[in-house]
Structure formats: C-alpha cells, structure tokens
Structure 1
Amino acid sequence: MTRFLSALASALVLILLTPGVAAAHAIIDRTEPGIDKVVEESPKKVVMFFSEPIEVTFGGLRVVDTRGRRVDEGATQLVPGRDDAAEVALRRDLPNGTYTVGWRVVSADGHPIEEAFVFHIGAPGKNPLGLTDEILSGDSGSGRVEGSLLGATRWLTYLALILLAGCLVFVVGIWDRTTVPPDVSEFFERRLRRLASSAWVVALFATAWSLPLQGAVAGGLPLSDAFSVDVLGGVAETRFGAVALLRLGLLGAVAACGFIAWRKYSLAELRTVGAAARGRQPSPAGLTLAGTLLIVLLVTPGLAGHPGATPPVWLNIFADGLHMMGVGVWIGGLAVLLIAALPATGSIGDSERAQVMAPVVQRFSDLAVVAVAAIIVTGVYASWIQVGSLSALTSATYGWVLLAKLAVFVPLVALGAFNQRYVKPRLESDGRRGGATLPMLRRVVRLEVALALVVVGVTSFLVNLPPAKLETGASGPFITDTRIGDYNLNVLVDPNTIGENQIHLTATKASGEPARIFGMRVELSMPSEQIGPLPVRGRRLAKGHYVIQGRQLSVEGEWRLEVFARPSRFEEVTTAIDLQVGP
C-alpha cells in the first residue's frame, strides 16, 4: 500500500510539473464579415462559425473601432438552431473604417480559445491592423498553475473511478466466490474498505476542485476569483459543469449504497461459514443499483470530453464507457489484487496461500482477458474517430501522444499475458510451488500497476489535445502547434482545400503573450508532384500574427509548409510542417 501511494504521488507530481496545455479544439470555419475583408455596408452583426460545438458562458464577441470604443450591442449568444456558431449585434450605420473583433469561446470539451481579427467597412481605416495587438496582449488572470491543476484533477478522477470499478468487480466477480480463512477475509475487507473509501474521497475532491479550476481556465481568471458564486454558477451552466455536478451526485449515491451494504453484511462473516453463508450476500437489486451507478460514473469523463463532442455522440459515449469499464475491471482489479488480496494471504503458509490465491488469480485472469479485448476494440475505434488516417498519426501531436500511450500499453498487455500463460497455470497445478510463484506474481503485478499509472497519466494529457484529424486537416481546416526558434507557433490553414486558402501564423512566448516578429514568409512545396517551393510573404495582422492568402495549394495531397520568421532584424529561424490538403 505504501509503495502504491508513493508511485501515485510521484505520478501526480510529474503531472503538476507538466505545463498546462492551452490546446483549443474548436477552430474557425468562417466569419461574417470575413477576416480582413472589406464590406460595402455596415453589417448588422458579427457571426463566427466553428468546427465543433462551443459555449459562450465565459467569453463572447467584443467589437471595437480603432479608438477602442465598443460598437457591439447586447450579449453574445449562440446562433438560433446551432451550437457551433456565435453572434453579437452591432450598432446601426457604423462609419467606414477598420473594426476589431476580440473573441473568446470554450470548446464543447471544455478548452478555451481566444483570438482577434479585423474587418473593414468601405475601406481599411488609418490603422488597418485595428486593435488586435492590444486585445491579444492583454494579461490573462489564469496561467500554467491553473491548467496543470485542472489536468491533475482529471488524472485523479480517471484513477479514482477505475479503482472504484475494480473494487466492485473484484468483490462480486472474484473474491465473493472464493472460500478463504476468516482472518484472511477480515484483512481483505479492511484493505478493500480503505481502498474504496480513498478512491471515493479522491473522486469527490478532484471533481469538486475541477469546478473552480475550470472557471479559472475558461474565463482567464486568477484562481482566487474562480470561487465566486457568479463564476461557479457559470461553470454549472456549461457541459463540463453539468457533468461534474452529475458525478458528484452519483458519488453521493454510491456512498449511500456502500454504507447500507456494509451495514447489512460482512465479507469476513461470509467467508467464515463458507458456501452456506452465501444466502446472506447482497440482493441482486442492490448489486444492480451499485453496478448501474458505477457504469454511469465511468461514462461521465466521455460526456465532458471528446466523445461527447464528436458525432455520432451516442456511439462514441457508449464506446468510451465500455473502454472505461474494461480499464476498471483490468487495471482496477490489478490494484485490488496488489493492495488487498495478496497481502491478505500473507499470514498463512505458502502451500495454503497458493491454494487460496489460485482460484482468485484464475477468475481475475479470465475477466481480464475479456476486459483487455474490450479495451482494444474500443481503443481502436476511438483512435480511428479522432485520428482518421495513418499520416495524421505521425504528423500530429495527438498522434504521437497516442503512440506513446500504445508504447506503454503493449508491455502492459504482455505482462498480463505472462500472468495468464505462466503464473496462473503454476498456481493451479501445484500448491507446493506457491512459495516461488506468488512473489513472482507480486512483482509482475507491481510492474503492471506502475505502467497502468503511466497509461492513465498519458490519457489525461491526451484528452487535452485537439484530435489528430482536426490538427492535420484530414477533416476540415488544418491546425497545429510547433516550435520556431524560442517561440511557439500556431499554424491554421483554412479551409485547407484546393483553391484559395488563408494561412494564419501566430507566434507566442512561453507565457502565451504575442511574440515580437519582424516578418514571416513561407515556402510551399509538394515533393511527390515536384511542385515548388513556392515562396509567399506574410502580411502582418497583429503582433506576432501574420496571414498569407492565395491559391498556392492547387493539388490535393500532402504538402510541405516551411515557415521562416525574423525575431530580430538580423536573425531568421525556420520550421517545417506537413499537411494533408483536401479536395
């Protein structure tokens, strides 16, 4: 138990030290008026269309003229009948000139995004860049600390729900079917209660803390301001907040069921009288209720994440819930085996210990095979939905992190196969060899649990990234983040199809503030068709933000985009990006 908690604490520290990810999963499809476009008449409103559903509770659209005066009227709202578009009304008969639209929205999976663009009435004004510099350089109250803490709550929530599922399945499907000595059963019951209670407390506090943290990150607020009634109320109105509140309610119901169940019967008493005592097991209705509550709990991460925002939503939610259930049975069961079952048999002789653990390991291994099969099938499906192509797997951050998760998952499965093929038969065939086999089992399970902690940590990081098919443009606009010199570079190619495109290049410092760039240019090439390089110079829209517009992307397929930036008048840095251009 102590070693498990040490590994848990170490993993948590690593997550807290990881910089908070500011990835935004919704990107602009189009705007009305268009970005940097000239319109002849004063528009009645500004409308923005995004690649996925958005929320405007912690943001909105703000329109100002070149003197910084607000020209929008009323509150920002979703376009009637749509959840992927926002609009704000404008004053009537605006004079000719340049106007700046500063906007901030939250993607359906809870990630905030903000930017600014300009449009012109009649003709560009004296300041054709508008006030994008001032808007984008404004200090945000939240930073890496809030983002890292929010990531930690997500990881702890995953881990706690997995442990709760493992506790229930292990007791009902494995331990409760095995006859063991009374002292062994009493020890197991104490450990199980401690593990289940700890998991419940972690899930409760991680979920509760995620509410103000989400308010801070989504609203760009310092954490001290995120505990206000207005902010918490705003979070409760979002999908993230509604799911978090649902989870809190389900955790309360689980606690009530657990309290009633443990008051009515004792596992230790059941095992004392052996099979004859099975008449005092929990009622089928009670087990059904507890199982249903845990299933819904395991679905909640998907409701607030990618599955809940990616069509077909119902199928993705089902697949994600089944994936979580498989992880709960396998990984959660491993934790129970390591923390409760194996230590519980430490007080008896080696031969008897092997005889007790043999059926436990056998039943768990059989369940684990089914669980791993469910994990693999649903994992492949989710990867296909979020990645979409092999090229996206190796050219997007999401794809590389997914491969890293797979690199840890494969040896984890191999260790499980080793237990299934080698350890389980030795325990089943000869109890006298238990003295040698059980220590081996303990070492393998410890390694499995350690790898499982890494997998859960990578998963909590993965859900904070934009899907690979969105990042690579396999479906709609292309968006990615990379490094150029000492700065972060965001690249957006819209609409990423043959013909006219806009390439937005935005360089930022590590703090998120716009970088000072004296010029940007790109060279576009398609090596497979011997096209290019085609040099194009960027036009400055704001500090650190350049745009390139043209019809250089004339053929469907894989293009190479080389970006050159001048952080000073006498220095040039470069980076290269591959993108898949659609028809």
Structure 2
Amino acid sequence: MTAALPCRRVGGWFLAGFAVALLWLVPAGQAVAHASLVSAAPPDGVVLEAAPRDITLTFNERVRPLAARLSAPDGRTVLLPPPEIEGHSLRFALPEGLARGSHLLSWRVTSADGHPLAGAQLFSVEVETAIAEASDDAPLATRAGVWALRAALIGALLCGVGGAVFQAFAGRQGTRFPQAAAGAGLALLLPVAGFQGLDLLGLPPAALLTEAPWREGVAGAPGLALALSAGALIAALTRPGRRIALVGLLACGMAAAAAGHAATAPPQAVMRPAVAAHVIAAALWIGALVPLSAQIARGGTGALAGFSRAIPWGVAVLAGSGVAIAVVQLGADPAALWRTDYGRVLLAKLALVGLLLAVALFNRLRLTPRAERGETRPLRRAIAVEMMLAAAIIGVIALWRFTPPPRAIVPVPPALAQEFRAGGLSAVVHVDPPRMGMVRVRVSDLRLDGAPFVPQSVAIEFSKPSYGLGPFRHEMRDGEADAGRFLLPLDGYWVVTVTVLISDFRAGEMRDIIEIRPAN
C-alpha cells in the first residue's frame, strides 16, 4: 500500500502536467490546419495586355513565405524579394520591364502545421509562349533523407523515452538500450533540422553548406518540436527516476503535438491531446519491448505480469486516439481512405498494426504463461517479431510528411461534358474544371443530322450578358477539338455559343447555358 501511494502521486502529477502542457500548446481562439491556395491575382494562366506590378496569393490560413522565383520567357530565373504579408495574403513585387511572353512564378510557403506548400502561377504579357514547368517537390535525395532521418528519430524517441519509463518503474536491471537509443536520437537532431530546412525550401542536400536550410529547419513549430524532442531524449539518457522519466514522456508527447498535419488540425482542443496520447501510448508499448526481452533473457519475469496487465489499457488509448485522428484527417469522404496517398499510407499502417496486435495477443495468451514457467525463448522470439513490425510501422508513419491529409485537399470538380443540339447539329462541350478561373475547353463528337463530319471551322464563345462580360471567343480550324483556355472571372451561369461553319454557304449555331462553380 505504501508503495502504491507514490506511484499514484507521480501519476497524478503526470496527468496534471499533461493537461497544462496541452493547454499551452493549443493557441486560444485559433484554428490552424494544412494550408491551401485559395486564389491568385492575376489568376493563373491569364494573358495580360501589360505587365503586372505584383502578384498576390491568398491562402485559407496564415502562412510563412519561404522563397519565390520568377522564370522569364528566355529561361532566366530571378529570386523575388520577401513579400508583403496582409492577413492570409502574400503580395510579391515583380521586376519592372517584364518581357513579352509567359512568366512562371514558383513559390514555397510553410503552413501552421510546419509542412511546406509549393505551387506555380503562370501569367503571360501580350502573348502566350512556351515555358518549362516548375516542380513543386523537393529533390528526391532530400525527400529520401527527410524520410530516413524522421523515421530514425521517431524510433529513437519511442525506444529511448518509453524504455526509460519502463526501467524506472520495472527496475533498473536489464539493458542500456534505451539510453543508447536516446543518445542516437540526440545525434540525429542536427541532421533532421538540416534536412527539414532543405525540404521546406525545396533544396538539394548540397545546400546544407549554406545557412538558409539550418535557419528554416529550426524555425516555427518544427523547431519547437525538435526542442521538445531534445528535452525528452536528454531525460531518457540520464537513466532517470520515475519523475524525470515521466517528464521525458510528457515532453515526447508534447513534441508530437507541437507540429504536424494531425496536431494542428481543428479542433485542436481534441487533436493535440489525441496526438500526444497516441505517441505516449506507443512509446510505453514499443519502448518496453527491448528492456522486457532483456529481463526475460536473464530469467527475470517479475515485470512480465505487470506489463501483460497494463498493455490492454495502452492499446485502448492507441485505438481511441487513432480513430479520432483518422476521422478528422480523412474528412467527410470515407473513400479518401483508398483514393488518396494519405489514406493508402493509413491502410498500410493499419495492416501492420493489426499484425502487431495479433502477435501481442498471442504472446499474452499463449507465450506469457509459458515464460512464467521458465520457457522464455518462444516469447523472446515473438517480442523480436513485435520489434520488427514496430520498425515497419515507424517507416510507414514517416511517409505522412509527404502526404497532405484529405481534409486539406481542395476538391477539384470533375470535368463537365454537356451536349449541345440545334438544327440538325450536335456536339459535346467539355469544360475542365467547371469552376471560376482558368478553364480548358474542348469540343467533341460533332455531328450533322446524326452523322459525324469535319467542319471548316468551329467557334466557341462564353458570355455573361447580365454582367457585361464577353463574348470570349476562340476559333478552331482543320478539325481541331481543343478550344484552348478561357479565363472565367465569375461563377454562376454562362451562355455558351458554338458556331459551326459547315460549308462555304452554310453555318449552324448551337447555344446553351453552362454552370460554373465558385473557386472553392
């Protein structure tokens, strides 16, 4: 009884600290998520009569600008100065005297969850010209390095911090593996910060020789997460007592709740505690495996019964917090589970977790009683399988760095295909995407009296008479199907007229209304 009271007191302190820490991490009155671009002025793909002085990008939340480059028609690229920040908008001043032709603005920002967002806006002065497409992604070597280093750091945190807690409560005998894992984690923090900065800026590994990636890698929420991880690892490295071990465990949960897609999703009052609880439960389970196996190998099975009784509670916390996170991240569309990269990573994780739970259940029901009777080798082998599955799960989890959650993806409406008919003529007009802004228009299945034919020319016009817009016209010749791109600045109903020159002496006209959706 006297031994139980200190444990209860320590546990109470831990829960109180957990609550205070999460209240500190949740910004009052602020809901942040993964950023997405809402609009651009001038719009993407527009052809302008004169060069613009600036370009404004508006996002669904506040973002921090990282870099912006402007590619000219002749291929030259210039780095633009930092933009003016006005609420959720960034206004980039453009160089004077922009050449005639197409220009491409490539930009990178970081959102409140600490993940980079990149894109490109195309505009043309007087006429469209060819220009190379910009890549939104960091180089493959950078992304591979980020994945490997993050996976290694997650493993070091779970094994080091969780193992230290296990040893503090189950006894100091056993292995120094938790301290070795914590030391390795501390050594990883510096390269993780560097590659994190490379990923944010979209730079190759060679750029580690410059200042910029190091500065960006430790800024904002990702930098706070690294600092909390360092505190957790230092606590584990000292072979701590119970209180210090729990402080390290709390710091580990706070590190996970400080940044990332899940932690910064609204409602944060639910998501940050769920993420922290998920990571803490995982650390207590995965971190205990190596010290437990070492104790069993030395013939000590005293901690086995307590671990076996406690693990169902940890699994319950893992499952409950995991379901809450998945429901928020997947959004309102269950099909996102198999249609998006995020969902497919989640399915892979769930499959591995299912195998891990099956092995753990087999251990608890079949192998633990045998180990308590002195037959320990089968249980140690099964624990080794659990460790391999845990390593695979960590590798899969690290992929989420590159997969925005479905809740943050702005849905693109499917291309519209509408049939037009009049005076024996028929055709299908395709508009992709059918929402305000730049759209691509195509005409297919052109028929005269039910039979396919090739006209001398086809002209298509968009107009919105009630607003005095249009007609915006493009003419196709020699059997062309692609009518090119139209800038539709307003949503709602547009009058579309298709004029077909059947022969030198005969023309036909088809007219209908097409609905254009808002930008988001």
Other-structure match for 1:80: 86
Q: Counterpart of 2:374 in structure 1: which amino acid?
A: G
In the TM superposition, residue 103 of structure 1 has moved relative to its aligned partner by 2.1
Other-structure match for 1:265: none
In the TM superposition, residue 301 of structure 1 has moved relative to its aligned partner by 3.5
Q: Distance in 2 between matches of 1:41 and 1:434?
A: 85
Judge conservation of contact 2:178–2:236 (CA < 8 Å) in 1: no
Q: Does 1:235 align with 2:217?
A: yes
In the TM superposition, residue 319 of structure 1 has moved relative to its aligned partner by 0.9
Aligned residue for 2:402, secondary structure, equals coil
Matches within 5 A, 1:365-384: 365-384=308-327
Q: Distance in 1 between matches of 2:123 and 2:228?
A: 42
Structure-2 change in CA distance of 1:249 and 1:333 (3 Å): closer
Structure-2 change in CA distance of 1:420 and 1:64 (3 Å): closer
Judge conservation of contact 1:29–1:477 (CA < 8 Å) in 2: no
In the TM superposition, residue 80 of structure 1 has moved relative to its aligned partner by 3.1
Matches within 5 A, 1:229-378: 229-252=211-234, 254-255=236-237, 258=238, 261=240, 282=241, 287-338=242-293, 340-345=294-299, 356-357=300-301, 359-378=302-321
Other-structure match for 1:158: 154
Aligned residue for 1:136, secondary structure, equals coil
Aligned residue for 2:86, secondary structure, equals coil
Q: Which of residues 52, 56, 63 is equivalent to 1:47? A: 56
In the TM superposition, residue 43 of structure 1 has moved relative to its aligned partner by 5.3
Other-structure match for 2:330: 387
Q: Distance in 2 between matches of 1:467 and 1:522?
A: 35
In the TM superposition, residue 311 of structure 1 has moved relative to its aligned partner by 2.1
Q: Distance in 2 between matches of 1:163 and 1:450?
A: 13
Q: Distance in 2 between matches of 1:395 and 1:33?
A: 32
In the TM superposition, residue 292 of structure 1 has moved relative to its aligned partner by 1.9
In the TM superposition, residue 548 of structure 1 has moved relative to its aligned partner by 8.4
Q: Does 1:210 align with 2:206?
A: no
In the TM superposition, residue 174 of structure 1 has moved relative to its aligned partner by 3.2
Q: Distance in 2 between matches of 1:329 and 1:502?
A: 52
Q: Deviations over 1:13-34 (max 9, x none)?
A: xxxxxxxxxxxx7542211121
Q: Counterpart of 1:54 in structure 2: which amino acid?
A: V
Matches within 5 A, 1:480-499: 499=435
Q: Counterpart of 1:229 in structure 2: which amino acid?
A: E
Judge conservation of contact 1:71–1:91 (CA < 8 Å) in 2: no
Other-structure match for 1:446: 384
Q: Distance in 2 between matches of 1:373 and 1:327?
A: 11
In the TM superposition, residue 421 of structure 1 has moved relative to its aligned partner by 2.9
In the TM superposition, residue 232 of structure 1 has moved relative to its aligned partner by 1.6
Q: Distance in 2 between matches of 1:453 and 1:137?
A: 32
Other-structure match for 1:411: 355
Aligned residue for 1:408, secondary structure, equals helix
Aligned residue for 1:226, secondary structure, equals helix
In the TM superposition, residue 306 of structure 1 has moved relative to its aligned partner by 0.9
Q: Deviations over 1:331-374 (max 9, x none)?
A: 21123212x212222xxxxxxxxxx41x4222101221111111
Q: Distance in 1 between matches of 2:399 and 2:55?
A: 34
In the TM superposition, residue 166 of structure 1 has moved relative to its aligned partner by 2.2
Q: Deviations over 1:203-241 (max 9, x none)?
A: 112221112222333333332331333442233334323
Q: Counterpart of 1:376 in structure 2: which amino acid?
A: A
Structure-2 change in CA distance of 1:384 and 1:88 (3 Å): same
In the TM superposition, residue 90 of structure 1 has moved relative to its aligned partner by 4.2
Aligned residue for 1:75, secondary structure, equals coil
Q: Distance in 1 between matches of 2:229 and 2:413?
A: 35
In the TM superposition, residue 456 of structure 1 has moved relative to its aligned partner by 1.3
Judge conservation of contact 1:243–1:300 (CA < 8 Å) in 2: yes
Q: Does 1:136 align with 2:80?
A: no
TM-score by length of 1: 0.60
Q: Which segments of 5 or more consecutive residues in structure 2 lack a partner in the other structure?
A: 1-33, 415-430, 445-479, 493-517
| Larger gyration radius, structure 1 or structure 2 | 2
In the TM superposition, residue 160 of structure 1 has moved relative to its aligned partner by 0.8
Structure-2 change in CA distance of 1:503 and 1:326 (3 Å): farther
Q: Which of residues 38, 46, 62 is equivalent to 1:37? A: 46
Aligned residue for 1:386, secondary structure, equals helix
In the TM superposition, residue 326 of structure 1 has moved relative to its aligned partner by 0.8
Q: Distance in 1 between matches of 2:102 and 2:519?
A: 33
Q: Which segments of 5 or more consecutive residues in structure 1 lack a partner in the other structure?
A: 1-24, 177-184, 262-281, 346-355, 480-493, 505-519, 524-535, 541-546, 555-580
In the TM superposition, residue 501 of structure 1 has moved relative to its aligned partner by 6.8
Other-structure match for 1:119: 123
* Aligned Cα root-mean-square deviation (Å): 4.0
Q: Distance in 2 between matches of 1:34 and 1:143?
A: 28
Q: Counterpart of 1:37 in structure 2: which amino acid?
A: V
Structure-2 change in CA distance of 1:384 and 1:197 (3 Å): same
Return 241-250 or 194-203, whichever deviates more.
241-250
Judge conservation of contact 1:111–1:218 (CA < 8 Å) in 2: yes
In the TM superposition, residue 375 of structure 1 has moved relative to its aligned partner by 0.6
Q: Distance in 2 between matches of 1:236 and 1:80?
A: 24
Judge conservation of contact 1:326–1:375 (CA < 8 Å) in 2: yes
Matches within 5 A, 1:516-531: none
Q: Does 1:423 align with 2:361?
A: no
Q: Deviations over 1:494-521 (max 9, x none)?
A: 998x7547679xxxxxxxxxxxxxxx98
Q: Counterpart of 1:343 in structure 2: which amino acid?
A: A
Q: Counterpart of 1:33 in structure 2: which amino acid?
A: P
Judge conservation of contact 2:197–2:215 (CA < 8 Å) in 1: no
Aligned residue for 2:383, secondary structure, equals helix
In the TM superposition, residue 460 of structure 1 has moved relative to its aligned partner by 1.1
Judge conservation of contact 2:56–2:91 (CA < 8 Å) in 1: yes
Q: Distance in 2 between matches of 1:242 and 1:235?
A: 10
Q: Distance in 2 between matches of 1:63 and 1:373?
A: 52
In the TM superposition, residue 199 of structure 1 has moved relative to its aligned partner by 0.8
In the TM superposition, residue 242 of structure 1 has moved relative to its aligned partner by 4.0
TM-score by length of 2: 0.67
Judge conservation of contact 1:101–1:117 (CA < 8 Å) in 2: yes
Judge conservation of contact 1:63–1:70 (CA < 8 Å) in 2: yes
In the TM superposition, residue 45 of structure 1 has moved relative to its aligned partner by 3.2
Q: Distance in 2 between matches of 1:143 and 1:336?
A: 39
In the TM superposition, residue 392 of structure 1 has moved relative to its aligned partner by 1.1
In the TM superposition, residue 39 of structure 1 has moved relative to its aligned partner by 6.1
Aligned residue pairs: how many? 409
Q: Deviations over 1:227-270 (max 9, x none)?
A: 33344223333432343244335534554xx16x5xxxxxxxxx
Other-structure match for 1:458: 396
Judge conservation of contact 1:109–1:304 (CA < 8 Å) in 2: yes
Aligned residue for 1:31, secondary structure, equals strand
Q: Distance in 1 between matches of 2:355 and 2:113?
A: 31
